[in-house]
Every structure is written in C-alpha cells, then in structure tokens.
Structure 1
Amino acid sequence: MNAPLRGYSLGFIQSMLTDESGRASGWFQDLELRSAFQPTFSLPQKHAMGFEASLRAVDPKGNPVSPETLFGPVQNYAETAMLDMLSTTIHVRNFFSRRPSHGVLFINLHPEVFLDFDNSAGFLTSLFGHYEVAPHKVMIDIPGSLLEHERLDDAITCYRSIGCLIAVDDFGVDNANLDSLWRATPAIVKIDRSVIADAMKRERTRRSLPRAVSLLHEMGTLVLMEGLESKDQAMLAIDVDADFGSGYFFGPHVDGVTEFSEPHDLLNNLWTSYRQQHASLRPDERVTRVSLENETLHSSQASGLRKASPADIARYREQRHPYLAAIQNLAAKVRSGATLESSSDAFLGLEGASRCFLLDDSGRNIGADIFSASPPARQSADFYSVVSVDKSDWSRRDFFRRAINEPEVVQATRQYCSLTGYLHCVTFSMATKAKNGKPVVICGDVDWSTHARTR
C-alpha cells in the first residue's frame, strides 16, 4: 500500500529525503529539515520510556528557522500537509532505524492535518508498513485546543483503528472542562509547562495540582509533566504524583537517539532529595480526593467518580475481603522466610489479580515482580514493561505511604490508571517485617474492571 495524502504518496515524500551516515534529513523549498528528540522519563522507574520528536529547520546560511515560521497561518493546505508528512517521515525513519523497538515515539501533527484523518491515517499506515514500525509504539499528540472540535471523536477513532496511541498536549488546570477529555480517553495527558511554572509561584496552583493529577488517574489516563527545567520543578512533579516527566532538567534534545545515555546519577539523586525534603509533606490520597464542588476542573462525568451510594460502598467492602485475606496470608509467609514468588499463587489466582511486588521501607523494589500466568486483558498501553528496570521507586505512591504509616494493616487504593495498562487498578498493600527483621511492603495489583464499577 502506498496511500497518497492529497496527491502526495509515500514514495514522493521519500524522494525529498537524503541520508548521511544513517541519519535522514529532508528538503523543503531551500530549507534542510532534521530531527531532534527529547526523552520522556518514567519517574518511578527512573528511566526513559520514549522520545518526543521535534523538527529542526535551517536555511542555506545555516540559520535556524522556527516551527512557527514553517507552520504559520495555513494559506495552502496541500503544502502544509506535505511538510507535516515529510517531517513525520524523517522522525519515524530516524527513530525506529536507530533505536530499540521498545521505545515510544511522540509525534505532533498540524491540527488541520490531524483532522484530515482519512488521508493522514492512510499515509501513516503506509509509513509504518514501510519501516516495519509497530503502530502502538507511536503516540500522536492532540493539541488541547482541539478538545472541543466536532470532528475530534471521529479523528481519534480513526487513528486508534490503525494502532496509534493518543496523548493530549498542552493541558491546563484552571477552568479545564474534563468532559471533552473524558470522551477523548487519551493514554497520556501532558500538563502544560506553564502550569508547573505557575505552581512554583502560586500556592493555589500548587494545591490544585495533586487533586488534578489524582482525578486524571481516576479518569483512566496517565500524566506527563512537561517543561521541567530545575530540580525543584522535577521534585514537584514527583510530589504531585505525575507518572512521567520531560524537560531540560534531564538534559538537552539529542540529534539522534543513539547519542542518548540514561542520566542514572541525576535521577537517583533527584529521588534521594525528594525523599529527604518532600515525602513527609505530601498529602495522602484522602486529601487529594476532596470535593469537586469548588474545583476549577469541571466535568459532569468526573464528578460521578467521587460519588457512591451506601449500597455501592457495602458491595465494594464485601468484594475486597478475599484480596485483604490473601495479602495477609502472603505477609505471614514472607514473615516466615518464604519468597514472594512461592507465596503469591493464592493472591494471583483471584479474579482480576495481575501482579505482586515487594518494596523496602524506602519504597524501592526488592527483586522481580511476580505476574499472573493468566492476567486480565489490558485496556491501555503497558508502559511499565517498556522500561526493564528492577530499582523503581514507589515512595510517593499512596499504597506505599499508607502501608508504611500503618504496619500490619492491609490498605487498598481507589481505582486509578496504572503504568501496567489497567485503567481501573486497585493496589492492595501491607507493611510487615521479613524474617530478617527488615521492614517490607507487600503489594498486589487488581484490575477492578472485572468487578462492579464502584470507585
């Protein structure tokens, strides 16, 4: 298949490429177009999970040309579409020919090209097929300005049908209407960099952020904080429970992904500073679940997440009993010296159970996670497995903090969107002591969508 985009086939677009030392660039009029990539980090896993592609253009004299100049007011849609597909082709070619396939590529489409989904999706299908790219490794960013567009739902459905993931870009907090976000059901919401900058200056915004992130998690989306430029901003992103972070604090853009090296020391030092300065100050989950009545985040759907009838609550408590008992039984075995792997069968045999994992008293993983042999089907992308690390840090999460603050009592979270791809995850946890006397926290994840939707 070689689908045309308003007359431009993949073959025609590729004719505008040049290749030097394995790196592709493109030519548009008299401008040279190149790729640059900014890493996006899974904050708990302290590791890059993907890269956002940016376009770099230079004129014949070597002067940079801004994307705003390139993609200015659209007077000729055909030219805009050609430029957008050319830049996307450059990014896909450079990323997937030079990077192990488990990385996620974030791409931006011009709003008009995004909404021309019948043509754009056909071109992307040809592009992915040519470079042997798994479409679920590509995340398309939707500008926040399109959330109210009448064609948005159809566009999202189309791009999802070819396998792409969806993110909402430049999302603000003040006066945000979440009903449109609810309909879009993105895998990731990117909090605009202006929000984090404002939170560093205004206490009101700083107080709102944890509640906003908590609500987004309950709505079934993960959260990325963009534009982190300082250690304090990065620690704030951790403290408000963001899943991902990006920005110049972690390092500059790279021209090629093979030039990127993980900033292990920087991320480890960041988490050490966070635990020393912030962990004891962060409000727990019950504080972030305050009433929405006076919130600036408006959504009739989201408001329903925080309401439950007495009958719903009673049913939920009854449904939890087998999981509470299984975690208690697992803890007893760990106290006696058994391994997590040999002790997890009873919990993982329960309906919806997906994994068990063990943390030390600082919130860091001990050993490998134990997964169910027959896990429930995931409803979203599994970003957790994108990053293969065994030293994740969960000290900011409520399932850890509540367990450590109340040892020998099983805790249960509300439903939230998990990095493992479950939109209605409930984590059961319990702090106890291993046979050697060291404190540990035993955790188990359950996909609660297999139960009644009581949140």
Structure 2
Amino acid sequence: MTIAQQERTTAAPHGFEVSVTSGLERYSVRHGDLELTSVFQPIFSLSHMRAVGYEGLLRAHDALDRPVSPLDVFGQAARIGDVLQVDRLAQALHLENFKVLGAEKEWLFLNVHPGALTDPYHAAALLANLRRLDLSPRRIVLEVLEQRAEDLERLADAVRKFRELGFLIALDDFGAGHSNVERIWQLNPDIVKLDRIMLSHAAHRADMATILPGLVALLHEAGKLVLIEGVETEHEAQMALGCNADFVQGFFFGRPNPGAADSAQAVICISEVTERYRDQTEARERRNASRLAPYIRAFERAAERLAAGELLDEVCWNFLALDHAARCFLLDEKGRQAGRNVVLRADRASHETRFLPLADAQGANWLRRPYFRAAINAPDRVHVTRPYLSINEALPCVTLSVVTHVGEQTCVLCGDIDWVEE
C-alpha cells in the first residue's frame, strides 16, 4: 500500500480498505463473511450526450470470492433486523468510492431504505460523511426505494427536510410494486425513475408504447424530471428518445463499472442512436403523409362542394368510401355540432352500437378539441391532428378539419380517420 493509500484509508471510516483493480483504486469493507465494494452505473442526459450522474451499486463476494447478489445481502440483513446498518454501510462505501472516482460535477444517486430516511442517526451519519469528504448535499440524489412505507406522512416529512438541506430526491422504480401517482404528490420528488418493466411492456405492446410518452408528459407537467432505467437494446433507446425522457440508464448506454464513464464513447453512442431516431421519425412522417394524401384530397373536395351549396350527407361520400374513414360532422363557429355524424358504412354503424349513448352528437360542443381551434386560428388550409382517442368508440383516430361556409355561416367541416400505427 502506498503512502497516499494509507492516508486515504486512515481518513475513511473504520474497517475500510483501499485496493487497486485494473489500475483503479476503490474502497471495500468486510461485513460478516462478505467483502463489500461499489460499482457505478452512469446516468446519461440524452440532450447533453454525457453522463450527468452515477448510481452507486453494491457488489459483494463471500469468503471463497464468489459473487453474492445485493438482493441476498439485503434479504439476509432484513431477516436478522440489520437492514438499516447495511444500508448506512453501503452509502458510506459509495461515498468513499465516488470521491475516488473523481467526478467533478455529476450527481451520485444513492439508494435509500425508507426506514433509514426517517432515522435521525442515519441523517447525521450521512451529513458527517459528506463534510469529511467535502461533498455538497447538492451532489447527492437520494433514491427513495419503491416499497411499502409504514408511515408515509413521516417519510414525506423526512424527505422534505433532506431537500431543505440541498439533497435532490428521486422516486425509484415508479410503475412497479407500491408505486402510484399519489406517492408522487406525497413525496414531491425532483426526479422520477420509471421502472424497467414499463419500458419492457412498451417495447412489446402497442398500447403501452402509446401510453409511455403520455406518462412522461404528465410527469413533466407535474414538474418532475424523468429517468428511464433498464435500457438494454437500441429499440428501447429509441423509445426513450421518442417519449422525451430526460435521462437514461442501462446496459445499452453503460454498464456498472468501478470507474467513470467513457465520455467520448457516450457521445458516439447517443449521437448514433439519435441520428437513427431522426431518420426513422422522418421516414414515418413520409409514410403518414402518403397515407393521408387521398383522405385530404377527398376532404378538400367535400369542403368545396359544401361551400357550393350541396348537402353534408352528399359531399362526404367520396371521403367516407376510403378504407379507414370513420365519420364526417359539421361544427358552427362556436364549436357546436350541427346535425348528426355522417357515417356511410353499415359495419361501422353496427360497431358503434356498443357506444350507443354517444351516437347522437347533435348539439355537442367540441370547442375544446384541437381540430376545432386549429381550423378557426388558421382557416385557409386543412389541419390534421395527432393521433388521439376518439370519444365515439374509444379507438385511436386522427381528425381532418377546415373552415368552410354554408350560406353566410362560418363552419368547420371535420372528418375522422381510424388510425393504427403501421
């Protein structure tokens, strides 16, 4: 051991040792018959294209140098009532190794058992370690583990006090276990980490793939940054980009490692996946434009004929004859529907009987709908909405809309198209 290593070991908590593996120094400590140490998984900002933080992860080996799962370490600690002590030990270990890591600006994400947050001794020990290592609380993100808390009010009060000291708060594993939206209001985290199970479902189910961007948008509206964890494939990385996540974590971008992330490799990886995402998005937009073209042409012709004095039921036939056209309807200048929906196909009329209470839309007010507002604000062209859920039969659709005139009245002609992503 060098003199510098001896000095660092002397300054570290009792029992900590410095070892060198592959040229990297790191601390370890014995707990029972286990040797514990740290690795760090980088957390990347997709916009900055670099690591902005590291999550400290526990690694354990038994007396025969066989790896032991961290779940087993904490499981055994829980069985003997030692979980808070192991939690504090792991945090102290991660702090020592994070200091050795040499990160100058990045956050350290620390997993924290809810019981440890409400323990005054834990708070005092954590602050003492930070002072000794000259680390600001603003460099630390406390990850509140997603599990049942016996006293949520007490936990929320503890979280508030840590935040007042400068710590950031992350809610871990959202979307699994005991997580729900109410927990976000109770704990008011700065960052919400979406559990890998949500990303996995979205990668294999079209309905979940549609929900994920909406969930991220909801969390953003609530003032929370969003981190998607468990990104392991390029497809999942593309989904994280597509749903506008702020941060990503996972094997695709960087594996847990004793050392810091390779910044040059991170730029290359994120740049390449972003470039492919852009190419795929542009290709999808071209396909959608081609797909919509015949509907728009038929819809424009219907608006012209309506303005020329023909009846709504007659002008919509060519539009409604197209494969996925659903209905046409007419709104007045205040968004109220004049007349019933015009539906051409008998099979659609039969299908809509499941939603019979919604079938008669005469007099309904669609003032709030984006298709009405877009048409009124820019009356010189046909507008196409983003896909959304139609209230008529709870199916995805897009709506075309354009301002036209019936006699002397300003109206908005609308046409719905069933929309399934191809």
TM-score by length of 2: 0.60
How far does residue 109 in structure 1 lie from its aligned partner after superposition? 1.8
Are 1:210 and 2:213 an aligned pair? yes
Deviations 1:54-99 (A, max 9, x none): 000001211001111111162444x322222221111111112332
Shift of 1:210: 1.0
In our comparison, the structure showing a higher alpha carbon Rg is 2
**Amino acid of the structure 1 residue aligned with 2:214:** R
1:276-291, aligned counterparts within 5 Å? 276-278=279-281
**Aligned residue for 2:130?**
128
User: 2:70 is matched with which residue?
Assistant: 67
Shift of 1:239: 0.2
Q: How does 1:257-276 map to 2 (within 5 A)?
A: 257=260, 262-276=265-279
C-alpha spacing 1:157/1:239, structure 2 compared with 1 (3 Å): same
Shift of 1:260: 7.0
Aligned counterpart in structure 2 of residue 198 of structure 1, from 191, 197, 201: 201
Gaps of 5+ in 2: 1-9, 289-377, 379-422
Aligned to 1:20: 19
Q: 1:48 aligns with which of 39, 47, 51?
A: 51
- Answer yes or no: is the 8 Å Cα contact 1:136–1:165 preserved in 2: yes
Deviations 1:127-154 (A, max 9, x none): 1001000111000101233478332211
Give the partner amino acid of 1:71: F
Between Structure 1 and Structure 2, which shows a larger proportion of helix residues?
A: 2
CA displacement 1:271-322 (0-9 Å, x = unmatched): 1000000367599xxxxxxxxxxxxxxxxxxxxxxxxxxxxxxxxxxxxxxx
Q: Could you list the per-position Cα deviations for residues 95-130 of structure 1 after superposition, in whole angstroms to 9, with x for gaps in the alignment?
A: 1233232010001123332332x2211111101001
| 1:37-116 to 2 correspondences below 5 Å | 37-72=40-75, 74-77=78-81, 79-116=82-119
Inter-partner Cα distance in structure 1 for 2:166 and 2:113: 19
Q: CA 1:280–1:134 in structure 2 vs 1: closer, same or farther (change >3 Å)? A: farther
The higher relative CO (CA closer than 8 Å, separation ≥ 6) is in: 1
Go from structure 1 to structure 2 and tell me whether the alpha carbon gap of 1:254 and 1:217 turns closer, same or farther (over 3 Å shift). same
Q: C-alpha distance in 2, partners of 1:225/1:64?
A: 27
- Partner of 1:97: helix, strand, or coil? helix
Counterpart CA distance in 2 for 1:93 and 1:48 is 20
Q: Relative to structure 2, which stretch is displaced further, 250-259 or 62-71? A: 250-259
Correspondence for 1:144 among 143, 146, 152: 146
CA distance in 1, matches of 2:147, 2:70: 18
The corresponding residue for 2:362 is none
1:156 corresponding residue in structure 2: 159
Task: State the percentage of identical aligned residues.
Answer: 33
Alignment partner of 1:251 is 2:254? yes
- Match of 2:224, as an amino acid? T
Secondary structure, aligned partner of 1:249: coil
The correspondence of residues 324-339 of structure 1 with structure 2, limited to 5 A, is: none
Q: Which amino acid aligns with 1:127?
A: N
Any idea what the Cα deviations from partners look like across 1:187-228, whole Å, max 9, x if unmatched?
A: 110000010000011111111111111110000000000000
- Partner Cα distance (1:279, 1:120) in 2: 51
Which residue among 230, 233, 241 is the counterpart of 2:233? 230
Give the one of 21, 30, 33 matched to 2:33: 30
Find the counterpart in structure 2 of residue 301 from structure 1.
none
Match of 1:189 in 2: 192
The CA RMSD over aligned residues, in Å, is 2.7
* Residues 195 and 274 (structure 1), Cα distance of their counterparts in 2 relative to 1, 3 Å cut: same
CA positional deviation for 1:40: 0.5
Match of 1:352 in 2: none
Aligned partners of 2:96, 2:172: CA distance in 1, in Å?
23
2: CA distance between counterparts of 1:72 and 1:207?
36
- Supply the AA of the counterpart residue of 1:152: L
Q: Contact between 2:50 and 2:263, CA under 8 Å: does it hold in 1?
A: no
Cα 1:123–1:176 shift into 2, 3 Å: closer
Query: Do 2:12 and 2:96's aligned partners in 1 also have CA atoms closer than 8 Å?
Result: no
TM-score (structure 1 length as normaliser): 0.56
Structure 2 counterpart of 1:157, one-letter code: R
Contact 1:209 1:240 in 2 (8 A): yes
Task: Say if 2:114 and 2:155, in contact at 8 Å, map to a contact too.
Answer: no
Give the whole-Å Cα distance in 2 for the aligned partners of 1:80 and 1:171: 22
Cα displacement string for residues 409-441 of structure 1 (whole angstroms, at most 9, x for unaligned residues): xxxxxxxxxxxxxxxxxxxxxxxxxxxxxxxxx
* Corresponding position of 1:119: 121
Tell me the distance in 1 between the aligned counterparts of 2:28 and 2:177: 40
Instruction: Tell me, yes or no, if structure 1 residue 170 matches structure 2 residue 188.
Output: no
In structure 1, stretches of 5+ residues that fail to align are 1-10, 284-405, 407-455
Q: Secondary structure at the match of 1:245?
A: strand
Report the counterpart of residue 363 of structure 1 in structure 2: none
- Give the Cα–Cα distance (whole angstroms) in 2 for the partners of residues 279 and 35 of structure 1: 43
Deviation of 1:235 (Å) = 0.6
Decide whether the 8 Å contact of 2:173 with 2:179 is kept in 1.
no
Q: Secondary structure, in 3 states, of the residue corresponding to 1:145? A: coil
Q: How many residues align?
A: 273
Letter in 1 for 2:209: R
Task: State the 1:175 CA deviation.
Answer: 10
- Superimposed CA distance per residue, residues 131-189 of structure 1 (whole angstroms, 9 cap, x where no aligned partner): 00011100010123347833221120222233211000000189964232023221110
Distance 1:143 1:173, change over 3 A: closer
Further displaced range: 59-68 or 17-26: 17-26
Post-superposition Cα deviations, 1:324-369, rounded to whole Å, max 9, x if no partner, equal xxxxxxxxxxxxxxxxxxxxxxxxxxxxxxxxxxxxxxxxxxxxxx
**AA at the equivalent of 1:243:** D
1:15 deviates by 1.0
